[in-house]
Amino acid sequence: MTLTRPTIYSLILTLFLVSAPHAEHLPLWVSALAATLLLWRGYLAYRAAPLPSRWLLMPLTIACVAAIGINFHSLFGREVGVTLLVLLAALKLLEVRSARDAMAVIYLACFLIITNFFYSQSIPTAALMCGTLLVIVATWLRIQAPPIAFQPQLRLASVMLLQAAPLMLIAFVLFPRIQGPLWGMPQDAYSSSGLSERMEPGSLSKLTLSEAVAFRVTYASVVPRREQMYWRGPVLWNFDGRVWTTGASGFNSPAQFSDAAQPVEYSVTLEPHNKKWLYALDMPSLLPPNALMNDDFQVFSKDSIVARTRYTIRSNLSYHANLDELQSQRQRGLQLPAQLNPRARQLAATWRTRNTDDAAIVTTALRYFNQEKFSYTLEPPLLGRDGIDEFLFSTRQGFCEHYAAAFVYLMRAANIPARVVTGYQGGEYNTIGNYYIVRQSDAHAWAEVWLAGSGWVRVDPTAAIAPERVQKNLSAALLDNSALAFMARNPPQWLLNLRMNLDAVSNQWNQWLIGYNSEKQYALLTRLGMTEVSWESMARQLMLGLSIVIAALALWLMRHLWVRERDPVQAAWLKFCKRMARAGVPRATHETALDYVSRISSHYPHQRAQLFAIAEQYNALRYGEEHAELRAFQHAVRTFKL
């Protein structure tokens, strides 16, 4: 069967629809080349021109593969695989001549649909892919069925997909979810946006421009005040004059929290960030299973978070942390790079001479930030070699990382153990879903100092300059917020409501569709009354469910086979037709009685009169007004023999 021009066009459309979302992450030359190949095929179809010869396609294909190899330095992995698929599918279209070739393109398109979910599993992506699937099925029908216009074909395709929906639902619920890497996404499936183990001037302010969700929090009962919502991330010890890094913090000494009070329990749904740590409020007291706390009170999971993860955790908002801190840790909190920032050291030294009490020095420092003309901005001026000095004495404009860094530097110079803590602060309350959303724009950095008798105490120098940052949000704290993402500024209320609604929907989507893992499956199936949930029983139920649905559909389609004819005239007539069919002359469904008997009598001319009599009687009984003799008709049918 040769392919018509509209079929080729719809194949091109299909490939375009499945490949276009990939343009976002494919190298530009690949997107351009794929588009060119599709256009070329379209042009050839339009011109009804012959397809390029194998001697042109073969080197082209080899060149494409080689170029991909050079571009990615590899021929394996997700990116390379997707790139290869996109290009080879477009190339395949250039040698599509028969319906069989077209089917190969259809299968490739189906596979490419799946690859789109490697990059995004959001609702819009799913909706787009459903639409694309519809076009694929319609194109498929166009290849297989007689040529009709695209619109009724789309209608037919939607009906088919709807009929398949119950099967899909059963398979989704019952297909055994096996824990392990086999079912997970590729390791590089998620770009790692979020906090990292290092902090330098500008790294946090850049992060706060992103509106991406970091995690969502549901509090069990007590909701802490906003200024208590410090979500602990990496703790930074080492400073080289510009960059803060974590250094070597281990899992050696267990944390000692005394006078712990104000417990809060909450569960966090963490977006994948490719790092191992989990976020918790200061200070975590009951960890989720498979989680550990390091010496800096940071919580770690066993594996990298490469899929959306939900965990329940408990924290105490009031505490004394490590009153007896190890000498070595206290020493770590005093290290400073030599020779840099002399003026800051000098300032700290004057504070030290005036006060002997560590806590008084902390207060002095905070007062210093508060009373001197410091300002809080997303776009601070660049800093040079003695960055802390420049910041403290000349530019005096900075974001939270500047304040945290300068504060910790001053403390260390004044001989008080101190460290930088990064994480998130605050969050946005979603009234519809009754949960908090913490976004990348809530990223924050603060300080911790160790004071004898109090342990590690959180000090947020940003709160001394811009208290609104901690009490309300970032936008309130900035004088000029034009650099922020639009939604982080002060958008209209309806837009905020819309975003809340969308996020609530997307949260449900994540919980129930994307996050439908083995535990969820177990919970759901037990609630549905399955007593023994194992993969064998699930497989059995799956087969059973699928068979029931298919059997029900089949019965529905064959329903006319056992609907008994109640009309005696029609029953006798059908019996007659059946006998004639057995004799080798079956009635066509649209054949009228007289047409039928005249056809039979052309085979059996001797019975012509009897046959016509039967047909006449049938017509009179079934379509006539006067009531003809039913018995005579039944008798005629019964006694009739060929």
Partner 1 sequence: MTHSLKNVIAQTEQIIVGKPLQIRLALACLLARGHLLIEDLPGVGKTTLAHVLAKTLGLQFQRIQFTSDLLPADILGVSVYQRDTADFKFHAGPIFAQMILADEVNRATPKAQSALLEAMEEQQVTIEGVTRALPMPFFVIATQNPAHQIGTYPLPESQLDRFLMRIELGYPDAVAERGLLAGIDRRELVKNLTPQLDTAELFSLQQQVAKIFVAPALLDYVQAILKHTRESASYVHGLSPRAGLALLAAARAWALLDGRKSVLPEDVQAVLGSVANHRLQSTQVRGETPNVGAQLLAAVAIP
Binding-site ranges for partner 1 (CB under 8 A):
4, 6, 146-149, 151-153, 155-156, 570, 589-595, 619, 622-625
CB of 576 to partner 1, least distance (A): 14
Nearer to partner 1, 24 or 625 (CB): 625
Q: Which amino acid is at 405?
A: A
| Cβ closest to partner 1, residue 173 vs residue 574 | 574
Task: Determine the Cα–Cα distance for residues 77 and 303; give it in Å rounded to an integer.
Answer: 20
Indicate the DSSP class of residue 476: H
Q: Which C-beta is closer to partner 1: that of 124 or that of 147?
A: 147
How big is the chain by its Cα radius of gyration, in Å?
Answer: 37
CA distance 596 to 580: 10
Give least dist CB 379 to partner 1, A: 60
437 three-state secondary structure: strand
Q: CB of 103: closest distance to partner 1 in angstroms? A: 21
CB of 105 vs partner 1, minimal distance in Å: 21
Based on CB atoms, which residue is closest to partner 1, 564 or 590? 590
Q: What is the distance between the alpha carbons of residues 291 and 286, in angstroms, rounded to a whole number?
A: 10
Nearer Cβ to partner 1 (32/630): 630
For every residue of 259-290, DSSP letters joined together read EEEEEEEEEEEEPP-SSSEE-EESSEEEPPTT
User: Which residue stretches of 94-149 are H helix?
Assistant: 99-116, 123-144
Give the nearer residue to partner 1 in terms of CB position, either 200 or 591. 591
Q: Which two tokens stand for residue 163?
A: 């009929």
Nearest partner of 298 among 334, 249, 264, 335, judged by Cα = 249
Distance of alpha carbon 274 from alpha carbon 450, whole angstroms: 31
> Can you tell me which residue has the tokens 């000494």?
253
Shortest Cβ distance from residue 626 to partner 1 (Å)? 8
Is residue 582 exposed (0-12), middle (13-18) or buried (19+ Cβ within 10 Å)? exposed
Q: How far is the CB of 624 from partner 1 (least distance, A)?
A: 5
- How many CB atoms neighbour CB 163 within 10 A? 11
Is residue 29 classed as helix, strand or coil in its secondary structure?
helix
Helix (H) or strand (E) segment spanning residue 79:
helix 78-93
Residue type, 352: R
Tokens 């080289």 correspond to 240
User: Taking the complex as a whole, how short is the minimal distance between the CB of residue 583 and partner 1, in angstroms?
Assistant: 20
Dihedral of CA atoms 495, 500, 506, 507 in degrees, nearest 10, equals: 170
Q: Pick between residue 431 and residue 592 the one whose CB is nearest to partner 1.
A: 592
CB nearer to partner 1: give 150 or 219. Answer: 150
Q: How far is the CB of 566 from partner 1 (least distance, A)?
A: 13
**Rounded least distance, CB 619 to partner 1, Å:** 6
Q: Which is nearer to partner 1, 399 or 633 (CB)?
A: 633
* Residue 517 C-beta: closest distance to partner 1, Å: 41
Yes or no: say if 521 and 315 are a contact pair by the CB < 8 Å rule. Answer: no
Is 96 in contact with 8 (CB distance < 8 Å)? yes
Nearest distance from residue 160's CB to partner 1, in Å? 12
Q: How far is CA 429 from CA 81, 484, 624, in A?
A: 40, 19, 76
Quote the least distance from Cβ 101 to partner 1, whole Å. 21
When the beta carbons of 76 and 556 are compared against partner 1, the nearer one is 556
Structure tokens at 430: 């979603």
Is the Cβ–Cβ distance between 535 and 599 less than 8 Å? Answer: no
3-state secondary structure at position 59: helix
Residue 514 DSSP code: I
- For residue 141, the minimal CB distance to partner 1 (Å) is 9
Burial class from Cβ neighbours inside 10 Å (0-12, 13-18, 19+) for residue 20 reads middle
> DSSP alpha helices (H): ranges in 145-187?
150-174
Q: Which is nearer to partner 1, 99 or 498 (CB)?
A: 99
Nearer to partner 1, 473 or 617 (CB): 617
Cβ proximity to partner 1: between 225 and 627 the closer is 627
Q: Which two tokens stand for residue 296?
A: 């800096």
Pick the closest to residue 199 from 227, 237, 228 (CA basis): 237
Question: Which residue lies nearer to partner 1 by CB, 121 or 598?
Answer: 598
Shortest Å, Cβ 136 to partner 1: 18
